[in-house]
Amino acid sequence: MKAVCVCGCCGRTIDKEFLYCPWCGQEKMHDKKDSFEAIFKNLEEKQAEDRARRVVALEQKLDALDRDLSILALSVEMAK
C-alpha cells in the first residue's frame, strides 16, 4: 500500500511523494497543521456556498408560491 496524504487545497488524497497535487496543481503542504486548516477552510467555504445556493432556491420557490397564492386570492375575490 502506498503512503498517501491529503491535499490542503482540494482535499483529495495524493501520493506522499508528489510535490504537486495532480488534481488541482497546488504545491503539497508539508506542515500538517496548515494542511488541516486549509482543508477545513475549504470545506467551510464549500458548505457556505451550498447553503447560499439552497437559500436562493428556497426564495425562488417561496416567490412562486406567493404569486400562486395571490392569483388564487384574486380569483376568489372575482368569483364573489
Condensed to tens digits (0 to 9), the pLDDT of residues 17-52 reads 888 888 888 876 555 556 677 778 888 888 999 999
Roughly how many angstroms between the first and final C-alpha of the chain, as a whole number? 77
Task: State yes or no: pLDDT of 66 exceeds 70.
Answer: yes
DSSP β-bridge partners for residue 6 = 13
Kindly give the residue spans of alpha helices, DSSP state H, lying in the chain.
Answer: 32-79
Task: State yes or no: pLDDT of 1 exceeds 60.
Answer: no
Answer whether 8's CB lies under 8 Å from 34's CB: yes
Query: What would the grid cell of residue 8 be?
Result: 490542503
Query: What would the grid cell of residue 66 be?
Result: 406567493
Read off the pTM.
0.52
Q: What is the pLDDT of residue 23?
A: 87
Q: What is the pLDDT of residue 29?
A: 59
Domain that holds residue 45: 4-79
Domain count, the chain: 1
